[in-house]
Amino acid sequence: MAFFSKGKNNSGGVNLFDLFSGSQFDYDAKTWTVGDITDCDWGDSESKVYDISSNGEKACLEVGIEDDELSITVTKQVPMSMLKGDVQAHIHQHDNAPQEVDMNGYIFFLADDYGGFCTNRNTGEKDEIYVWEYYDASENFILTIEQWGETEFEVAFGTVVKEHEINATNNSGGGRFS
């Protein structure tokens, strides 16, 4: 774990917190390129969100440390309509998201909710966000509901990534990330 601690760059590897626009890495049998980078401040923790692409496919790589644990996820935006029921109305009526959500028959359980500010490095734009974070029973899949302002919602679905699943390709330092 110490390899990924903020500011560390041990064993000649690349720190996931130090990726830059144009960085490339291999994940899931594809080479991904980093585009925009967003720094998120959650108050008691922080994360980096990298917009990534591979042959026209777009996703987000999020890297953070919470309670001294590394968290890596790769997600893609999905339509809110993929969730069973009117989750957005539930949030407005109860001032909170439901304890579980159903996406195409897969059940996700609320694990955490938190708010913070995210700043896009390219534009300097800073936005307030509130996130409800869900995992399936295996805790291998993640679903997030993000609220931007009063009425804008986004849903992302993806996987929890293990350190050894990501390999550097053209970044300074080279080698495996783990």
Mean pLDDT by 10 residues, the chain (178 residues): 33 69 93 96 94 97 88 96 93 93 96 96 94 97 93 95 83 44
Q: Answer whether residue 176 is part of any domain.
A: no
Domain that holds residue 80: 2-168
Q: Quickly list DSSP for 46-84.
A: EEEEEEEEETTEEEEEEEEEETTEEEEEEEEEE-GGGBS
The neighbour count for residue 93, using CB atoms within 10 Å, is 9
Q: Answer whether residue 121 is part of any domain.
A: yes
Q: Answer whether residue 70 is part of any domain.
A: yes
Q: Whole-prediction pTM value? A: 0.86
Q: What is the rounded end-to-end Cα distance, in angstroms, of the chain?
A: 9
Chain centroid to CA 104: how far?
21
Q: How many domains does the chain have?
A: 1
